Structure 1
Amino acid sequence: MTAVVLGGAAMAAFYGLGQGLLTAGLLFLTGAPVLGLAHVLPRRRARAGSLSRQLAAGTGLVVGATLASVGIAAAIMFISPHDAFTLGLLLAFAATLAARSAGLLAGGVMDDLQAVRAGLRAVGDGATELNVTTGARDELAELAEATNTMARRLAERGDERDAAEAARRDLMAAVSHDLRTPIASLRVLGEAIAGDVVDDDDRRRYARQLGVHVESLGHLIDDLFELSRLEAGQVEWSMQRVALDELVEETVEAMRPHADARGVRTEVAVPPGLMPAHANPEKVQRVLFNLIQNAIRHTPADGTVTVLAEAASDGVEVEVADTGEGIAPEDRERAFEPFFRGGSEFSRTRSGAGLGLTVCRAIVEAHGGRIWLDESTRGTRVRFSLPGAVQG
């Protein structure tokens, strides 16, 4: 209606009110059918079928309605048949050119749509390596890129799922292996104790060995339970200010008899007035116990295990260093994986279940810190960080 009013007003301004009204009426008569069809067509798209048929039907109906409206207007204006016919031919020619141009443009759009549709169908069939391209930089190009991104993300999720499944299988195999050996030993020892083929001294020795195997199984079960809770995010610890100088000294003192029995010296290096950590003391002590025990286990007689703590930019750092055989370079990145069998057998030995370092990493990360292997020219240096306690 705005165009009709503006057209009538322009004619009235130059040729008078009567001509303006006549022009407005003619514009309304020619425009109303076209606009009416343009509003009806979107509601009937489903009946037209494919997008190309919808474009063809819409173009044909609009052009036809325009020619019919012009013919009616010509008859009302008493234009001669010759002039009306000439005007119709010109309009038909212009409409043909417009339809052909629109068809060429729509052809490119349809090719892009076909490419995107083929890509989406490929994703639905499980394809993950796609490169859907279009011939323009428009919304269809964005849709094609979104299709490529979706395929890449599906591939990543698939890789993560496969890796998780492989890790689960490896974990089950490792747990089965670690359970099979002590259980078999327990069965043999139990049968020997129950029989009459051993004397009292052997029976007592076998009983002590039974206790060792039972303790090993208990540690394995405790580590598995702790690890499953940590990975599930079930952390219900009370955090508090932890004085690391006292905690480190207490832990090393508790491990000193074990070190002395193997001929290993233990040293503590914690500066006075060190910033307290914001942590759970029992969990941090468990990390220290695991690391110190592992260090003693891999340090020969006359070697040294040193535990130190120092301030860091974002909190405090604790280190457990030994003078043992160290870790092979190819094993360093996997040392904290559960049940990893390294060449140096650092993270898994016959006397350990192979979950100690994994549990240490889970506990430290649950505190918001990290744990890593630091560079060392001799032995192994394991460091972990903890957030500092807020002063107040």
Structure 2
Amino acid sequence: MKSPIARLSAYVSSYNLGPKLLLSHLLVTLIGMITFGVVSFVAPLIFGGNGAADLLHTLLYLLLATAASMVSAMAASLFVAGRITRPLKYMLAATRRISGGSYGEQVPVQESDELGELSESFNAMAAALRDGELRRQEFIADVSHELRTPLSTLQGYMEGLLDGVVEPDEETWGLLYAESERMRRLVEDLRQLSRVEAGQLDLHPASSSAELMVCRATESLAPLFAEGGVRLETSLPEGLPEVFADSDRVVQVLTNLLRNALHYTPADGKVTVAASPRNAEVLFTISDTGSGIPPEHLDRVFERFYRVEKSRSREGGGSGVGLAISRALVQSMHGEIWAESRGAREGTTFAFTLPISRGTASEGSRKS
């Protein structure tokens, strides 16, 4: 059980910094006054004499009382100043270490006032910097890994051609072209992702038909689905409202999600594209009967190069940033995107929303 002093300290600490500073100044003044009064009363008893009659003794008592009150007030001020400056010193030292590259720094949260909130915000900032540094390191490692494989293939075949071990036939040139195209596609995707995340990608939002965009995406990929033996179906209600978005970028998002669904759906599987109005938005969903995603990975599937199965290679797959590009594009068009899955081998649903065009919304309200 806490002592009365501990409970009083906790109660005072719950106040904001302004009232605490006011109370601290009043406390210092009160301590000085009490000390002055106590010494003025006790000093005559110690030194003797009549303070009213003896001017010298009176001055001595006042001097001792003033000195004692100053010492006690200084002690109280140092205590209060220490409680205020200690968190700032912690943050100053941690800031210097963070600037030196130590991103795992955290400062203790000792108060519940503005200084405590500042300490919590500082810890959140340090954690964000640490996560950003880890993502940067992972990104560099992933890019190096993705480029190393085609570069190694190109170098090996080039050495074989120079040594005369590999015949310069049509198959060899086709393989070299495919690997160089793979690198070009990766670099182009990374450039596009960087531009859209920085807000530098040109978008041309307008009232666009959701049904037409779904049809454009599914028709362009229908031959690939037929080749892979995967059924591609659409579910579009009548009177689907138009969305305010860049139609080409929406088709790009749908294409990326459809390619991803095709890549992870086995033959005889099914992929369904649906769209439906929801409040002031249109909800697009791409559902497959593929391998599914464990719940602990759902929040990270939109990160660059993230793979649920770390051992899975990208042979025959995309560049590894298609989902990241899709998320950046949807967010830049004021929409949201997410993934849902009940687990491994349970299929996956990717969904995103886009705002309904104002003209369509007002027309619907007039009809109603």
Give the TM-score, by structure 2 length: 0.71
**Shift of residue 100 of structure 1?**
5.6
2:259 is the alignment partner of 1:284: no
Name the SS for the 1:308 alignment partner: strand
CA–CA separation in structure 1 for the residues paired with 2:351 and 2:219: 20
Name the SS for the 2:358 alignment partner: coil
Tell me, yes or no, if the aligned pair for 1:315 and 1:387 is still in contact at 8 Å: yes
1:183-222 maps to which residues of 2 (within 5 A)?
Answer: 183-192=151-160, 197=165, 203-222=169-188
Alignment partner of 2:126 out of 155, 158, 161: 158
**Shift of residue 117 of structure 1?**
3.2
Amino acid at match of 1:247: M
Name the SS for the 2:266 alignment partner: coil
**Shift of residue 331 of structure 1?**
1.8
**Shift of residue 103 of structure 1?**
5.8
2:350 is the alignment partner of 1:387: no
The alpha-carbon distance between structure 1 residues 270 and 193, as it changes in their structure 2 partners (threshold 3 A), is farther
Give the TM-score, by structure 1 length: 0.67
**Shift of residue 213 of structure 1?**
1.8
CA–CA separation in structure 2 for the residues paired with 1:293 and 1:180: 24
Alignment partner of 2:306 out of 328, 337, 340: 340
Name the SS for the 2:260 alignment partner: helix
What's 1:368 paired with? 334
With a CA cutoff of 8 Å and minimum separation of 6, indicate the structure with the bigger relative contact order. Answer: 2
**Shift of residue 215 of structure 1?**
2.5
Tell me, yes or no, if the aligned pair for 1:193 and 1:206 is still in contact at 8 Å: no
Deviations 1:333-382 (A, max 9, x none): 21111111213879x73322211111111111111111111245831110
CA–CA separation in structure 1 for the residues paired with 2:71 and 2:53: 26
CA–CA separation in structure 1 for the residues paired with 2:107 and 2:278: 45
Alignment partner of 2:215 out of 230, 240, 249: 249
CA–CA separation in structure 2 for the residues paired with 1:88 and 1:281: 96
* Greater C-alpha Rg: 1
Amino acid at match of 1:130: P
Amino acid at match of 1:301: A
Tell me, yes or no, if the aligned pair for 2:293 and 2:341 is still in contact at 8 Å: no
**Shift of residue 125 of structure 1?**
2.2
Tell me, yes or no, if the aligned pair for 1:326 and 1:344 is still in contact at 8 Å: no
Name the SS for the 2:307 alignment partner: coil
2:95 is the alignment partner of 1:129: no
CA–CA separation in structure 1 for the residues paired with 2:352 and 2:277: 12
1:32-71 maps to which residues of 2 (within 5 A)?
Answer: none
CA–CA separation in structure 2 for the residues paired with 1:379 and 1:370: 21
**Shift of residue 208 of structure 1?**
2.2
Amino acid at match of 2:133: E
CA–CA separation in structure 2 for the residues paired with 1:274 and 1:345: 42
CA–CA separation in structure 1 for the residues paired with 2:253 and 2:230: 20
**Shift of residue 221 of structure 1?**
1.2
The alpha-carbon distance between structure 1 residues 198 and 151, as it changes in their structure 2 partners (threshold 3 A), is closer
What's 1:352 paired with? 318
The alpha-carbon distance between structure 1 residues 111 and 98, as it changes in their structure 2 partners (threshold 3 A), is same
Amino acid at match of 2:177: G
What's 2:270 paired with? 304
Tell me, yes or no, if the aligned pair for 1:326 and 1:380 is still in contact at 8 Å: yes
Unpaired runs of 5+ residues, structure 1, are 1-50, 60-83, 134-143
Query: Over aligned residues, Cα RMSD in angstroms?
Result: 3.4
CA–CA separation in structure 2 for the residues paired with 1:106 and 1:196: 89
CA–CA separation in structure 2 for the residues paired with 1:360 and 1:388: 19
What's 2:40 paired with? none
Amino acid at match of 1:175: V
Alignment partner of 1:175 out of 143, 148, 156: 143
The alpha-carbon distance between structure 1 residues 191 and 103, as it changes in their structure 2 partners (threshold 3 A), is closer
What's 1:120 paired with? 88
